[in-house]
Amino acid sequence: MSRLDLSQSRDALIDRNRPLSFTFDGRPYQGFAGDTLASALMANGVQLVGRSFKYHRPRGIFSAGSEEPNALVTLRSGARAEPNTRATMVELFDGLEAGSQNHVGGLKHDLMAVNDLAAPFLSAGFYYKTFMWPRAFWEKLYEPAIRRAAGLGKLSMQADPDSYDRGYLHPDLLVIGAGAAGLMAALTAARAGAEVVLADEDARMGGRLLAEGGLLDGAPATQWVAQVLDELAALPNVRLMPRTTVFGVYDHGIYGAVERVSDHLPTPGTRVRQTLWRITAKRAIMATGATERHIPFADNDRPGVLLSGSLRAYANRWGVTPQARATDPVLIFTNNDDGHRTAQSLLARGVPLAGVVDSRSGARSLGEYTTHAGAMVTGTKGRHGLRRVQIRTADGRDSWIPCGVLGVAGGWNPNVQLASHHRGRPVWDRERLTFLPGPDGPAGLIPAGAACGHGSTIAALADGRRAAQTALAQLDRTATAPALPQAEEEPSAIAALWHVPGKRRAWVDLQNDVTVKDIKLSHQENMRSVEHMKRWTTLGMATDQGKTSNVTALAVMAELTGNGIARTGTTVFRPPYTPVALSVLGGGDTGANFRPRRLTPTHHWAEANGATFVEVGQWMRAQWYAQSGETHWRQSVDREARAVRSAVGLCDVTTLGKIDVQGPDAATFLDRIYANTISTLKPGRVRYGLMLREDGFVYDDGTCACLGDGHYVVTTTTGNAGLVFQRMEFARQCLWPELDVTLISTTDAWAQIAVAGPKSRALLERVVDGVDLSNDAFPFMACAALTVCGGLPARLFRISFSGELAYELAVPARYGHALMERLMERGADLGVTPYGTEALAVLRIEKGHAAGAELNGQTTAAMLGLGRMVSAKKDAIGAVMSRREGLAGDSRRLVGLQPVDPAGKLPAGAHLFAEGVAQGLATDEGWITSACYSPHVESYIALGFLDRGDQRLGEVIRCANPLEGQDIPARVVPAHFVDPEGGRLRD
Amino acid sequence: MGFSGFRVIKEALTGHRGWGPLWRDPAPRAQYDIVIVGGGGHGLATAYFLAKLYGRHRVAVLEKGWLGGGNIGRNTTIIRSNYLLPGNQPFYELSMQHWERQEQDLNFNSMVSQRGIINLIHSDAQRDSFRRRGNSMMLTGAGARLLDRDALRQMVPFLNYDNARFPIKGGLMQTRAGTARHDGVAWGYARAADRMGVDIIQNCEVTGFRIEGGQVRGVETSRGYIGAGKVGVAVAGSSGRVMAMAGLRLPIESHVLQAFVTEGLKPVIPGVITFGAGHFYISQSDKGGLVFGGDIDGYNSYAQRGNLPVVEDVAEGGMALMPMIGRARLLRSWGGLMDMSMDGSPIIDRTPVEGLYFNGGWCYGGFKATPASGHVFAHLLATDTPHDTATAFRLDRFARGHLIDERGAGAQPNLH
Amino acid sequence: MLIPHPLLGLRDAQEFTYLGDAALLNRPDPAAGEAAFADYVYLRDNPASVHRELWFHEQGDRSWLVVTRNTLTHEILGAELARDVKLGGTA
């Protein structure tokens, strides 16, 4: 097939001066700029483009838009391969590669087409009724076979190489669709000065005006379109967004849209491929047009059968028709006037016309062609492309008409989907035989034009203007209405014909191979509600989301039940309007950039000093510092832990949450936040604090330092820093707003370094400015605001997580790096050693201090051995609920565990059992929370919760780890492996 | 007549004339022994087990819309028994055992497919907590495997191992877990229950309970009053609304959970993969669609639809974990109504109203529980004692402090 | 969603963290005992209609707000500072 002769028409929308080469299934073809892949394939006489999902029947191009169910191709190759791409939506570019999909052994000779012979066995829902015996065969035999046969295109299995972006727009008015209604709406609003965004899924704006070949103001409609677009483009308050699909309506006027920025180019180059727009609009106009429906009849699925309006669009906009040979005549089958408009267009373009088969008995020709009034199409022939069509005339006679193309016109369905995204249902209009947007659509979304049943050009133009005026009035803007261009009247009479009765298969859903028979079977089996029918037959679940099949199918079901279409109703329309690539929804924050990383003030220093990092609540913390010669992480960790117990170690603890609490009522406030009492804490002193959730379980722990009257610094665990702050603000604003207290998170403001070990005092004395750090002057749990290194403001806390003499020194965050360097330099002779979170964990397990694994939100204060900290004398969050029977009666206690075999390991996550019992959940007595090798005990040690653990010291129990085939005897010991009296930290 | 391969062949050869309705559409009777409110998976399974195991046949299931139209018809179809706590794990294992003989019991292929589930491990601390969970699974016979990175890489080579924000260090796998065809589960129970005499009454909305002297007598419905000896409520996301008609407040909030499916693709994802750090999980349906989801939107909602930030968040998680899915297209999204309980675990118990029983609080995990939920709820309705595997699902556990809090998140539903 | 912050105007809901029913403002007196606290901590009206609820402007000014929102339609009817609500005693 070659191009139609469009020389007489001034509205050709392809550029014959720009030929483009492309391949389909490896064969080279040529098209022109302005073509879609579909129109270019047609121009080259390619009719067979794909195979159906279930029966692998030959399929041709069925539509000219985003509703395409048949012409799915894999576009491009390699990592850019894009399966299931609708050829009708692909703009041709030079070098385009496309391939057909879902066949075995070639598109033309698909071996899977045997499925079609087995079709009687593959009726609706057949798989629910069989494949059950023998039981083991489902996963081994049946399912793998089904899975291989199912699916459409293939993923490349390579990472998407392109980049994506997100954007945000906040217009007064979003106009969705740039057809007659949308353009008129945008023009009206734009001239009134409103900020307007006009989005259209097509590369070229104009909608059906580009496809109809009609006149506006006596000139081709495309000229009017160009003129309006020129005006809009020149206005600063208008943003034109072609290639942009508004795919979803969300709350409060937020619309999701995807702009295909460079899909029309061979590669995106330096640009993004697509952009995800979040458009927050005060009002939106849904001018999304309508989609034509077909009329199922026997063997209506052959290549060459397509929608009549699409046929017209191909002829008018792209100058092509889908015959295999230019001389093949074209036939139209219609139940309404619109089919005749296609006939007129084709005649005008010189296409051989075999006539119009019109199911209405009184139908008349609108031109020089034969009309078979009161006739219907009852069959087709042609293996890979249509050759003949059988019609039954009004008097009941059957005859075969040779033809290569059959355009089917069953009426138009308004594209109401967006109006139903908030679950409002469309309403049936029995005059127009269509569903219209219902009254309960999303707030602020105004349907216009064909999308609400005003499908003729005149009506759409007027309705677009009306919709814009409505929107502007709601936004308190006055608008002078632009004059409407003159257009011809278009007749639109229709008589219901939902399918042609017959015994052979008549397709309703072309992609999923759902026929009228399947719907009848669904009815017969009492799968009669539209949702049951959809799910039983898979109708409407294909990639076209039922755009070409849903309404027809429910009309067929309504006919069977006798309930009528209005009562039968539709299935629910949900986002997205058309399928959207996951890569653009993912927005590009992937790989290492998936989530932010927080870096400590000493991060770069640690990097330079051989640190391996671990993530803790978005922070990257040094896990250990490998020195040369250390080949296993344990060597580094053991060395670091030993250094802390024998000399002095440095650990960046900036990540612990820090909350400054100030105000006359700060002490009262903190008494209610902490389970234990804070108000008795004197300035210059620090206290360990335990926080409960209101439900009585332990939430978090840390220290509370009193820096002065009404001034406290609260620390939290790293992971809970944000949550604790949020809850403290909740307490302050929502529970006790009468208290005069303010909070601020200072986690990022202060760099904090733990200086731990017997030589820590000696080291600190070398950097602190003139403060007596002797044990008497600055004892355990002392704190002070002071200066270091000759005037740098700092805070010093004598607190210890390691159980050694230890301090934490805080300086403004920007000095953290320098402080670390200074401490390393001044402590060199003391054996100062940086240590990471692994050594920190070893040190705290040796001391039995709880951390994340113990504070997992499931533990009580009593389980941690801290039951007595929960004061009964005051009100505090969680105090009352901690006394509930279930919590008070929980007799599990934190214990230490040591393997009976000193060389043995203990795995965290093992469950604890008494020796000799049958191991099961009923006899389960606890679990190991944390375990490590202790270089000081010289064996593995562990912490765990054990039922009545406090009474079972010395008992040998079993640590069961059946997951890894282990059952390890261990002795219950106190949860302090080093310095149980705590003398060292007080020295 | 039963379903079988032979029958499919016979019907194919005789024009499918012999297939009858999958279930009747009976008019409601004046009185039933037991009325189940809610024709979703749990309600239908309850009716089935009442008839099958407890000999109760004067049973009606009342469904306000079409049967199977609630969460059983909109979920991500995952079945698994990989829980930690003793209050949960034996129950979910009972469910798994039911799944394993589902088709034969119901004579309906709900396509239970044990292709396995892998929970990814990103840190040593997470491995420790997964080891604890895996051992709970081992101790109930559910089975579990701890995969190291190499074993995982062999199984699912397409994950982002080399440039990940959250390094992938291994996984906890339950090989018996997998998926089932969600609609098929509802239909299988409905058909089997119907064949044992249970009346399934669609388009019948319960509008009130008739309660006299603290005892339930029946239900008011859009199709008139229906008397009942006992009433069991299994209405998932509508729990709050329905139980309020009996004057009860629940430890439950209703939230929306979105889920997603792509266009059909040839098989790429073998089983179920969950990516906790990225709030993303995925499987692939037999039809070829990638089925995935993430977190709940996070605010109270009965709207059955969610918002764009979560859509972006979930897609971002998917792209971070398996960047090869980028060129797959999202085809449909939907929002389910979740009754999020205060500890993340369900409630199956009697209520302060005599004869009124409650089954709910399933959060976003109700699908996998369907068979066991039906079984134990039937047990409770028939015997007035909790089933052995469901003794912890009490309504008073909140007041008494016997929580079943798998995540340790406390009394805030949107954190579970 | 967009939340009409009483001080800052319309803000995207993504800036906020959600807690739940604004009845959480009405913490019982500690003397009221376990049962009263159990009701407060666990039981919810959970209405399918207008719901007063707490949102925290975490990525913003750190105000806790009481937002009045319809849980069926997501329509927001108003937002107040939780502190004002609590001090006004209208929770």
The answer to whether B286 contacts A150, with C-beta atoms less than 8 Å apart, is yes
Across A422-438, average pLDDT: 94
User: Mind telling me how many Å the CA of A125 is from chain B's nearest CA?
Assistant: 10
CB B211 within 8 A of CB B70: no
Tell me how crowded residue A155 is: count the other CB atoms within 10 A of its CB. Answer: 24
Contact A585 B315 (CB under 8 A): yes
B128 to A693: CB separation less than 8 angstroms, yes or no = no
- Tell whether A111 lies on the interface with C, counting CB pairs under 8 A: no
Domain edges within chain C? 2-88
Of A297, A259, A304, A300, nearest to A278 by C-alpha is A259
Mean pLDDT across chain A: 95
Summarize pLDDT for A91-115 with one digit per residue, the tens: 999 999 999 999 998 999 999 888 9
What single-letter amino acid sits at B175?
T
For A858-888, what is each residue's pLDDT tens digit?
Answer: 999 999 999 999 999 999 999 999 999 999 9
Rounded to a whole number of angstroms, the distance from the CA of A467 to the nearest CA of chain B is 26
Q: What is the pLDDT along chain B (416 residues), one digit of tens a residue?
A: 689 988 999 999 999 999 999 999 999 999 999 999 999 999 999 999 999 999 999 999 999 999 999 999 989 999 999 999 999 999 999 999 999 999 999 999 999 999 999 999 999 999 999 999 999 999 999 999 999 999 999 999 999 999 889 999 999 999 999 999 999 999 999 999 999 999 999 999 999 999 999 999 999 999 999 999 999 999 999 999 999 999 999 999 999 999 999 999 999 999 999 999 888 999 999 999 999 999 999 999 999 999 999 999 999 999 999 999 999 999 999 999 999 999 999 999 999 999 999 999 999 999 999 999 999 999 999 999 999 999 999 999 999 999 999 999 999 999 99
Asked if residue C91 has pLDDT above 90, the reply is no
Going by the DSSP 8-state scheme, the letter that residue A768 receives in this structure is B
The residue of chain A with its CA nearest to that of B100 is A135
The pLDDT, as a whole number, for residue C90 is 52
How far apart CA C14 and CA A93 sit, in angstroms, is 40
Q: What is the largest CA-CA distance in chain C?
A: 41
Q: Hey, of A72, A82, A132, which one would you mutate to test binding to chain B, going by the most B CBs within 10 A of its CB?
A: A132
Verify whether the Cβ–Cβ distance B250 to C46 is below 8 Å. yes
- Separation of CA B399 from chain center: 26
Domains of chain B: 18-81+84-106+182-251+343-415 (3.50.50.60), 117-177+253-341 (3.30.9.10)
Q: How many CB pairs under 8 A join A and B?
A: 350
> Tell me, what's the pLDDT at A342?
97
Chain A CB within 8 Å of residue C81 CB: yes
SS3 readout for A195-234: CEEEECCCCCCCCCHHHHCCEECCEEHHHHHHHHHHHHHH
Chain C residues with beta carbon closer than 8 angstroms to that of A881: 34, 37-38, 41
∠ CA(B23), CA(B29), CA(B32), 5° rounding? Answer: 95
pLDDT band at A912 (very low <50, low <70, confident <90, very high): very high
Q: Is C84 helix (H, G, I), strand (E, B) or coil?
A: helix
Q: Do C20 and B251 touch (CB under 8 A)?
A: no
CB nearest C46 (choices: B240, B309, B398): B240
Pick among B238, B241, B296, B299 to test the C interface (most C CBs inside 10 A): B299
Mutate to test the interface with C, among A278, A445, A733, A739 (most CBs of C within 10 A): A733
- Which positions ≥6 away from A530 have C-beta within 8 Å? A553, A554, A557, A568, A569, A570, A571
Give B33→chain C minimum CA distance, Å: 30
Which residues from A are below 8 Å from C81, CB to CB? 733
- pLDDT of residue A2 exceeding 70: no
Residue in B with minimal Cα distance to A597: B165
For residue B410, give the nearest of A152, A531, A693 by CB distance.
A693
Can you list the domains of chain A with their CATH numbers? 164-290+414-474 (3.50.50.60), 292-408 (3.50.50.60), 492-568 (1.10.10.1100), 891-986 (2.40.30.110)
Chain A positions touching C56 (Cβ under 8 A) are: 726, 729-730
Confidence of residue A479 (pLDDT cuts 50, 70, 90): confident
**Claim: this prediction has a pTM higher than 0.90:** yes
Residues of A in contact with B403 (CB under 8 A): 695, 886
| Nearest residue on chain B to A595, alpha-carbon basis | B165
Strand segments (E) across A123-218: 164-169, 173-176, 196-199, 215-216
The answer to whether the CB atoms of C72 and B307 lie below 8 A apart is: no
A742 to chain C: closest CA residue: C62
For residue range A31-51, what is the model confidence (pLDDT) as tens digits? 999 999 999 999 999 999 999
How confident is the model at residue A7, as a pLDDT?
46
Contact C43/B309, CB-based, under 8 Å? no
Question: Is the Cβ of A920 closer than 8 Å to some Cβ of chain B?
Answer: yes
Alpha-carbon distances, residue B251 vs A103, A698, B208, C38, C45 (angstroms): 53, 21, 21, 10, 9
The residue assigned the tokens 């979703």 is B40
Distance CA B210, CA B217 (A): 5
What mean pLDDT is predicted for residues A522-527?
Answer: 97
Does the pLDDT of residue A10 top 60, yes or no?
no
Of C2, C27, C38, the CB nearest to A735: C27
Band of pLDDT at residue A148, cut at 50, 70 and 90? confident
CB contact under 8 A, B135 and A960: yes
Share of chain A above pLDDT 70, in %: 99
Edge to edge, what strands does the sheet with A742-745 contain?
A685-692, A698-708, A711-716, A657-662, A742-745
Interface-testing mutation among C41, C44, C50, C58, with chain B (most B C-beta atoms within 10 A): C44
Cross-chain Cβ contact B399/C42 below 8 Å: yes
Of A147, A532, A858, which has the smallest distance from its Cβ to B267's Cβ?
A147
Chains with 3 or more CB pairs closer than 8 angstroms to C? A, B
Q: Which of B121, B319, B397 to mutate to test the interface with A (most CBs of A within 10 A)?
A: B319
The minimum CA-CA distance between A660 and chain C, rounded to whole Å, is 15
Of A131-135, A505-509, A906-910, give the lowest mean pLDDT range: A131-135
Q: How far apart are CA B352 and CA A690, in angstroms?
A: 37
**C77 vs A: CB within 8 A:** no
| A740, A664 contact by CB (below 8 A) | yes
Residue B177: strand pairing partners:
none
Question: Are A331 and A355 spatial neighbours (Cβ–Cβ below 8 Å)?
Answer: yes
**B412 chain-C contacts, CB cut-off 8 A:** 19-20
CATH number given to C2-88:
3.30.2270.10
Chain B residues in contact with A920 (beta carbon < 8 A): 139-140
Residues from chain B contacting residue A909 (CB–CB below 8 Å): 127-135
Inter-chain residue contact B413 with C71, CB threshold 8 Å:
no
Q: Under a CB-based contact definition with an 8 Å cutoff, are residues A708 and A651 in contact?
A: no
CA distances B128 to A232, A909, B86, B131, C22, Å, are: 62, 5, 18, 5, 37
Structure confidence at residue A638 as a pLDDT band (50, 70, 90): very high
Cβ neighbours around A247 below 10 Å, total: 25
Contact criterion met (CB < 8 Å) for C21 and B252: no
Please name the member of A158, A527, A590 whose beta carbon is closest to the beta carbon of B316: A590
Residue-by-residue DSSP string for B98-154 = HHHTHHHHHTS----B---EEEEE-SHHHHHHHHHHHHHHHHTT---EEEEHHHHHH
Residue A826 is predicted with a pLDDT of 98
* Minimal Cβ distance to A252: which of C2, C54, C58: C2
Query: CB C46 to CB B342 under 8 A?
Result: no
Interchain CB contact of C83 with A (< 8 Å): yes
Is the preceding peptide bond at A834 cis, omega within 30 degrees of 0? no
Q: Which of B241, B300, B398 sits opposite C51 (nearest CB)?
A: B300
CB contact set of A734 (below 8 Å; sequence gap of 6+) = C24, C25, C54, C64, C82, C83, C86
The C-alpha atoms of residue A283 and residue A796 are separated, in whole angstroms, by: 58
User: Residue A8 pLDDT > 50, yes or no?
Assistant: no
Rounded to an integer, what distance in angstroms lies between the CA atom of residue B77 and that of residue B290?
12
For residues A901 and B416, the answer to whether their CB atoms sit within 8 Å is no
The residue of chain A nearest to residue B109, with distances taken between CA atoms, is: A128
Least CB–CB distance from A733: residue in C2, C75, C82: C82
**Cα–Cα separations (whole angstroms), residue A862 to A102, A476, A671, A950:** 63, 64, 19, 11
According to DSSP, the residues that pair with B143 across neighbouring strands are: none
Going by pLDDT thresholds of 50, 70 and 90, the confidence category of residue A676 is: very high
